[in-house]
Structure 1
Amino acid sequence: MARKWASTAVMLYLLIVAFMYWYIFSWADPAIPAVFKGTAADPSTFLNARELMLSEEYSEIRNFLFFASTPYEWLFYFLILLLGLSRAFEKWAVSVSKWRVLQTAIYLFWLSVLSFAAVFPFNYVSYSLGKKYNINTQDFASWMEDEVIDFWISFGEMILIVSVLYWLIRKRPKKWWLHAWLLSVPFSLFMMFVQPVLIDPLYNDFYPLKNKELEHKILELASKADIPADHVYEVNMARKTNALNAYVTGIGSNSRIVLWDTTLRKLADNEILFIMAHEMAHYVEKHIYIGIATYLLLTLAGLRITAWMMGYIIRRWGKVLKIPAVESISSLPLFLLISAVLLFASEPLSNYISRYEETRADRYAVEMTKDSGAAVRTFQELTRAGLSEVNPPALVKWFRYSHPTMLERISRLENYNSESRND
């Protein structure tokens, strides 16, 4: 039966990939609606012919990679169970040590190494694609360094999370999901607090904004919005990418306003101020806390569903999947598989909420800066720098876009201009 299940799973994966290839490369039409032709939202008005071609190519390949790699992760976890590798890792760990924490660390190390090797081709293709289209500027050695840092940070977090999770499963077999969720609340807040000062600096160098005149303008803007900010940071991203970005990170006393140095080099001050006003809007309208609340609610629902599904699947097909019981750490790939599928299924909802908040932030920023022209130019330059797709297909938008499309963002700004003139 295991062989039949494995071949069925592989066939299903190939069918999904074939469908998404047809959908992205043949069926989806990247052309913008006729009503937007010739407007500021029309990419042909601000991109040359070569940039238009590269944008379409790059976006299509990236979208396809996403929809190919996502179910590939599910397939990986499923095959790990069917082939008995998860059970073998557990037996190996138990034979090496009597300490549960050490057993967990040994099991997770081999599972993490195998997972790293399995997804590495997709990661490398994504890296190479960015290099080919001049989005990535990072050399291979530096990129591999980041990959290794990712591995060890994830490994360290997983030891803590999985050790606690399976301790709860053994101690609270019926309500472990609720206790796990309750513990996830302070843990998530703690990780958000330490992210800017402990984790982010492992990847890049952060330092106070060198342009003090611009920093003064940004802090003035923050003061108008009643945001307690003393410093603006820049990060040296030019050695890794040509894309542009800015963000507000952290919570409490560790919150920071951060600008990529690529943004500082390619945008004018009034365009940067629009971006900063947009980021400040998230603080003013409590989007960070709304995001935390949404995440925690989805996590609660996800853990409840995962607990029920794990119990049902192991009772019915535990022998085929080589899982003796829910509390056995060999069930971890099943936990990760169910969680990954649920996360993917929730993306349209979470992305919809995020796009709504981003639309609100755009509106707030243009009203605060009173410079819709700078806002339009900013989005046009963001499109050019990242070879972004202005009008993505529906499935791509639902599952990948946490921000409104550039077509939506620029056209709304033009509508705002019209409303302002009428007022």
Structure 2
Amino acid sequence: MIIDLFAAASAAPFDVDAATRAYLDSLVGPVRERSDAYFEGGYWLLLWGTLVSIASAWAVLRFGWSASWSRWAQRVTHRRWLQPALYALPFVLVSTLIVLPWTIYTGWYREKQYGLMNLGFPAWLGEQAIGLALTMVVTAIALVIIFAVIRKAPRSWWLWATGTMALFIAFGALITPVFVAPLFNTYREMPAGPLRDQILGMAKAYHVPAGNVTVFDQSKQHDRISANVSGLGPTIRISLNDNLLRRGTSAEVKAVMGHELGHYVLGHIWVLIGCVSLVFLGGFLLLWWLAPRILARRAKAWGVATVSDPAVMPLFTAILAIYTLAMTPAINTLVRTEEISADRFGLDAAREPDAFASTAMKLSEYRKIEPSAIEEAIFFDHPSGRTRVRAAMEWKAAHLAELPPEQRAIVRPAPATVASSAR
């Protein structure tokens, strides 16, 4: 990085606009064009992904597969409570196979095309198989509970189902760091050293109950930087991926970890569980109202008579796909709001505004850096690079007198190149 010494704050007030523009202008040419194209293409993926889900659900209903799986479950066991779990197995498997070409395109081919995937196809497919097995187990358990509730409380099942999903989310947050994440990556304790001590020092200062820091090998999947404070209660763990250590400076690592600690200290996991539960509440209420009306017209053609029959699941899936698409701006705004507050916390905790800004530029290698206001409101679940860099420079201007003299200048990063961008 080249520093304009004549722009030191001791000589003139810090120019937030000029500092912000210096960072944004470092992402130019093919790198910026690729980033914009990748992210803008994702807008259409939302629509096409919804249509693919609807088409899959229609096929499963139209050809009578869903009804036949339900009858099979009834033949295998007379325990009604267990039948939804058996139904879940072919339902998840076949639905996954139907959309597999789309999943391959969006999850592997397109990522590879934009240089954002390090896994070969066999390795990627192996991870998908692990995910499929997990989905089958979780879906089987969820359907047992949800359909039991539908049978017991046909008028208010949407409310009880919402509570069930809230518990599922909380339980998932509890067990994921210990039982799920290690299925995809290897976690090792971060080597002792000044950087580890600084991270743990920040954690201790804000009463985050984590005694160590772990590093996971996400470089085998991609080169994106990432970190998290995951888990609940006894499973809380501070983790960062090897890309962050490899690609980031010590100051950038501290900036990222300050942000992640902010999520924990500000209680974002609980806020997120509550808000996502409200989203589920709206979705289940829609299912409760709409599904019986559709079945009244299509029950004979599909072989599905009531919403208490697990065979109704493809219809549920199609309705929820449309509902989720419609709720995308609200969900993104919820997550983005939490990210902004964690950004503010991280700036106060790490006190590394330029490192925060340079990290935002690295994240902009696959996230459009200067979207329009409406784009950011609808499609961004994190603040854009422009928003984050400006926030960092505004923080720097407000705290300029507190920073060491060498950190008071406007930093002008060298322009990014294709070779130095994330592969």
Give the alignment of 1:23-172 within 5 angstroms. 40-41=20-21, 45-100=25-80, 103-126=83-106, 127-172=108-153
The partner residue of 1:225 within 206, 229, 232 is 206
Greater displacement, 43-52 / 140-149: 43-52
CA offsets, 1:115-168, max 9 Å, x none? 111221122112122223221111222111110011110001111111222222
1:402/1:147 CA distance change after superposition, 3 Å: same
> TM-score normalized by structure 1?
0.84
1:82/1:39 CA distance change after superposition, 3 Å: farther
State the alpha-carbon separation in 2 of the partners of residues 102 and 284 from structure 1.
41
State the alpha-carbon separation in 2 of the partners of residues 355 and 78 from structure 1.
33
The answer to whether structure 1 residue 247 and structure 2 residue 228 are counterparts is: yes
The partner residue of 1:355 within 336, 342, 352 is 336
CA offsets, 1:292-332, max 9 Å, x none? 11122222232222212222222344334432111112111
CA offsets, 1:203-247, max 9 Å, x none? 111111125321111011112222222111110011110111111
Match of 2:390 in 1: 411
Residue 362 (structure 1) shift: 1.3
The one-letter code of the counterpart of 2:223 is: N
Residue 195 (structure 1) shift: 0.8
The one-letter code of the counterpart of 2:368 is: E
SS in 2 for 1:136: coil
CA offsets, 1:179-216, max 9 Å, x none? 32333333332221111101111111111112532111
SS in 2 for 1:238: helix
SS in 1 for 2:367: coil
State the alpha-carbon separation in 2 of the partners of residues 365 and 373 from structure 1.
12
Match of 1:189 in 2: 170
The partner residue of 2:161 within 151, 169, 180 is 180
Give the alignment of 1:237-316 within 5 angstroms. 237-316=218-297
Residue 422 (structure 1) shift: 9.0
State the alpha-carbon separation in 1 of the partners of residues 292 and 267 from structure 2.
38
Match of 1:20 in 2: none
The answer to whether structure 1 residue 199 and structure 2 residue 180 are counterparts is: yes
The partner residue of 2:368 within 389, 414, 418 is 389
Residue 343 (structure 1) shift: 2.5
Greater displacement, 412-421 / 161-170: 412-421
SS in 2 for 1:244: coil
CA contact (8 A) 2:81 2:148 kept: no
The one-letter code of the counterpart of 1:172 is: A
CA contact (8 A) 2:230 2:236 kept: yes
State the alpha-carbon separation in 2 of the partners of residues 290 and 164 from structure 1.
24
SS in 1 for 2:36: helix
1:47/1:338 CA distance change after superposition, 3 Å: same
SS in 2 for 1:217: helix
1:184/1:62 CA distance change after superposition, 3 Å: closer
Point out where structure 1 has 5 or more consecutive residues left out of the alignment: 1-35
CA contact (8 A) 2:291 2:315 kept: yes
The one-letter code of the counterpart of 2:41 is: I
State the alpha-carbon separation in 2 of the partners of residues 47 and 179 from structure 1.
49
Residue 359 (structure 1) shift: 1.3
State the alpha-carbon separation in 1 of the partners of residues 192 and 375 from structure 2.
38
CA offsets, 1:81-138, max 9 Å, x none? 2332212322333344444466434432222222111221122112122223221111
State the alpha-carbon separation in 2 of the partners of residues 335 and 89 from structure 1.
16
State the alpha-carbon separation in 1 of the partners of residues 140 and 191 from structure 2.
39
Structure with more relative contact order (C-alpha pairs < 8 Å, separation 6 or more) = 2
CA offsets, 1:377-413, max 9 Å, x none? 11112223xx321134667544542111111111222
SS in 2 for 1:160: helix
State the alpha-carbon separation in 2 of the partners of residues 367 and 169 from structure 1.
48
CA contact (8 A) 1:63 1:396 kept: no
Residue 58 (structure 1) shift: 2.4
Residue 365 (structure 1) shift: 1.5
The answer to whether structure 1 residue 209 and structure 2 residue 190 are counterparts is: yes
Runs of 4+ in 1 over 4 A off after TM superposition: 36-39, 41-44, 393-396
The one-letter code of the counterpart of 1:232 is: V
Q: Percent identity?
A: 25
The one-letter code of the counterpart of 1:405 is: S
State the alpha-carbon separation in 2 of the partners of residues 375 and 264 from structure 1.
15
CA contact (8 A) 1:244 1:260 kept: yes
